[in-house]
Amino acid sequence: MHRQANEDLFEHTKMTFGEHLEELRLALVKAVLALVFGVLIGLAFGNYVVNFVQEPLREALKNYYSEVAGREFHKYLVRQRDAGLPVPHDLDAAVKAFVERGLVMEDRYYDPRDVARELNKVAPGAIDESRLPAHREGQATGVDDMVVLRMYHKIDDDPRVRVVGLKMEEPFVVWMKASLIVGAIVASPFIFYFIWQFVAAGLYPHEQRYVRVFLPFSIGLFLAGAALAFFVVFRFVLAFLLSFYDWLGIDPDARISDWLTFVLIMPLGFGISFQLPLVMLFLERIGIFTVRTYASNWRISVLVICFIAMVLTPSDPYSMMLMACPLVALFFFGILLCNWMPRRTTPFGEVIE
């Protein structure tokens, strides 16, 4: 007997609106419990995560202040040369070697009488204080009366590259945020499973097979997006943002709480946005969109992708482009994926539209 509609075959699988809400509630409860379990694990590793996520920021600050130190050293060599003092023949090579050694130069001013007095305490008679310039009565020691000593230290020991906290409770809040990051990563496979489980509850049996296919790819794409943000995008974004500090002559003072929030939001945005090809394939499989619809509206899709990248990233062009470009590539990959995986037919030989 010919059936008039495909839905008749799966009438027993239909769910009421209340049943869908119940499935959503159960999925959310299980996802929250998985997150809580992950956070409990993260509490044991939160301190290691805090040290780990500081590395990109520390490296960016080291590069920034190394460039500043290189320019200052170059100016110093030019002054020495103009004063007729011996300097290296190739100033650029000398500056490059200075930066590669990770050195920072600073001038310290000392009162020669104070220095002589302290040295004579250790080694009496080492310095004849009578030969030093006489102290002018009634006047404070001026800069012209002091001795300038040029000192150097490693960029790793520079206090400006340290990530600071300004509030008493900040270390605790940072540790909790780091534990939340670990918990989200640990629980992400289970959270994705429960979400897809809820989606599968509202599908026909022949459509539920896609959930088992999509789940591992969904987790992989999420982790790939988060890794791209942390290991690649952060470097460009930090260099871009620090360039404005250099341009405006402002010294950056990085706070760990602000940085950890930044670390939390951007990888999360990248991980979620990288689900695009699977979402496209899923919507095509259940008949909401077709490959022709995707292909004919690619210009609008690219515009929407750029808008999403602008919303999910900080207000700088580097992070937006570094998200938008992979997403555009994933969009066209999603079209190819829909072509590579032909749609199934019903038991009556009809294409599921």
Residue 268 sits at the vertex; the CA angle it makes with 245 and 190, to the nearest 5 degrees, is: 160
Residue type, 106: E
How does 17-26 read in b/e, with b if 16+ C-beta sit within 10 Å?
A: eeeeeebeee
pLDDT at residue 117 in the model: 83
pLDDT at residue 188 in the model: 79
Identify which of 34, 39, 32, 35 has the alpha carbon closest to the alpha carbon of residue 178: 39
3-state secondary structure the chain: CCCCCHHHHHHHHCCCHHHHHHHHHHHHHHHHHHHHHHHHHHHHHHHHHHHHHHHHHHHHHHHHHHHHHHHHHHHHHHHHHHCCCCCCCCHHHHHHHHHHCCEEEEEEEECHHHHHHHHHHHCCCCCCHHHCCCCCCCCCCCHHHCEEEEEEEEHHHCHHHCCECCCCCHHHHHHHHHHHHHHHHHHHHHHHHHHHHHHHHCCCHHHHHHHHHHHHHHHHHHHHHHHHHHHHHHHHHHHHHHHHHHHHCCCCCCEHHHHHHHHHHHHHHHHHHCCHHHHHHHHHHCCCCCHHHHHHCHHHHHHHHHHHHHHHCCCCHHHHHHHHHHHHHHHHHHHHHHHHCCCCECCCCCECC
Tokens of 72: 């200052």
How does 157-180 read in b/e, with b if 16+ C-beta sit within 10 Å?
A: ebebbebeeeeeeeeeebbebbbb
Contact between 256 and 51 under an 8 Å Cβ cutoff? The reply is no
Contact between 305 and 313 under an 8 Å Cβ cutoff? The reply is no
Q: What is the rounded CA–CA span in Å between residue 221 and residue 219?
A: 6
Return phi, psi of residue 104, to 5°. Answer: -130, 135
Query: Residue 321 burial by CB count (10 A; 0-12/13-18/19+): exposed, middle or buried?
Result: middle
Identify which of 272, 274, 271, 286 has the alpha carbon closest to the alpha carbon of residue 338: 286
Question: Around Cβ 282, how many Cβ atoms within 10 Å?
Answer: 22
Q: What is the dihedral of CA 193, 199, 201, 204, to 10 degrees?
A: -120
3-state secondary structure 297-317: CHHHHHHHHHHHHHHHCCCCH
252-307 pLDDT tens trace? 888 888 888 777 777 878 888 888 888 888 788 777 888 888 888 889 988 988 88
- pLDDT tens, residue order, the chain (353 aa): 444 444 444 444 456 667 767 878 888 888 889 989 988 988 888 888 888 888 888 888 998 999 999 999 999 899 989 988 888 889 999 999 999 999 998 888 888 888 888 888 888 888 887 777 766 655 566 667 788 888 888 998 888 888 888 888 888 888 888 888 788 878 878 887 887 777 766 666 666 666 677 778 878 888 888 888 888 888 888 888 888 888 888 888 888 888 887 777 778 788 888 888 888 887 887 778 888 888 888 899 889 888 888 877 766 677 788 888 888 998 998 888 888 765 654 444 454 44
Question: Around Cβ 81, how many Cβ atoms within 10 Å?
Answer: 13
Identify which of 123, 105, 107 has the alpha carbon closest to the alpha carbon of residue 115: 123
